């Protein structure tokens, strides 16, 4: 299946390539198929999704991430303890997702059989053509990343990053309110690391 990428200027300076974001335009039949697949995959992904992930989640506002951070600040003020926060924004996170790792995680999450095969083959062998100022360039194969603007992309990316959030939560490192881990509230690829000591931030290795 061939897709077309159109550029979206994310920042003001026009003559820097890094200020543009590629948005994928899918064929209508491909988009309809992905809507059907997403409904099936989301049933599985939502059950596994770490509670610290608040991005692209039905009935959950991304603002809840800010609420978790706000409550951590109030907790620190109440207990008169220090609080340390690091804000992480993974650069071009959607573009560098490894396909082998992604589809292995998809399989291990419980997406099996024809559902897995359909999702896999939508990306494997797919070609993309960049459209610039009305002209489409020669197509090329896509070997990594999840397509921005794609119906499935947000769910696949959340599944890809989920083991990292599970690891942070299970480690017991970082800020807690009572027994509730609050060390890494996340909105898609934006992560806030919260700790009450400089010596014990969540370990991302």
Q: Which residues contact 1 (CB under 8 A, 6 or more apart)?
A: 26, 27, 30, 122, 126, 127
Q: How confident is the model at residue 89 (pLDDT cuts 50, 70, 90)?
A: confident
Task: Give me the residue spans of the domains in the chain.
Answer: 2-195
- Give the pLDDT confidence of 31-47 residue by residue, as tens digits: 999 999 999 999 988 99
- Tell which wins on pLDDT, 11 or 196: 196
Q: Using an 8 Å Cβ cutoff, are 142 and 128 in contact?
A: yes
Q: Which residues contact 164 (CB under 8 A, 6 or more apart)?
A: 204
- Locate 130 and state its tokens: 């960049």
- Give the pLDDT confidence of 128-174 residue by residue, as tens digits: 888 888 888 899 888 888 988 889 999 999 999 999 999 999 988 89
Determine the Cα–Cα distance for residues 182 and 25; give it in Å rounded to an integer: 37
Q: Using an 8 Å Cβ cutoff, are 180 and 47 in contact?
A: no
pTM for the whole structure: 0.85
């Amino acid at each position: 299946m061939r897709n077309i990428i159109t550029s979206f200027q994310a920042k003001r300076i026009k003559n820097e390539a890094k200020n543009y974001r590629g948005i994928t335009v899918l064929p209508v039949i491909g988009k309809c198929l992905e809507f059907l697949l997403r409904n099936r995959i989301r049933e599985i992904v939502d059950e596994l999704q770490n509670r610290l992930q608040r991005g692209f989640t039905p009935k959950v506002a991304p603002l809840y991430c800010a609420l978790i951070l706000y409550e951590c600040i109030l907790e620190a003020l109440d207990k008169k303890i220090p609080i340390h926060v690091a804000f992480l924004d993974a650069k071009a996170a959607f573009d560098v997702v490894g396909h082998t790792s992604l589809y292995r995680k998809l399989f291990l999450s419980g997406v099996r059989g024809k559902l897995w095969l359909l999702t896999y083959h939508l990306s494997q062998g797919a070609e993309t053509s960049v459209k610039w100022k009305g002209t489409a360039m020669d197509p090329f194969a896509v070997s990594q990343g999840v397509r921005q603007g794609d119906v499935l992309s947000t769910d696949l990316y959340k599944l890809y990053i989920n083991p990292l959030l599970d690891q942070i939560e299970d480690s017991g490192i970082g800020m807690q309110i009572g027994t509730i881990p609050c060390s890494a509230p996340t909105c898609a690829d934006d992560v806030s690391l919260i700790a009450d000591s400089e010596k014990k931030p969540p370990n991302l290795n």
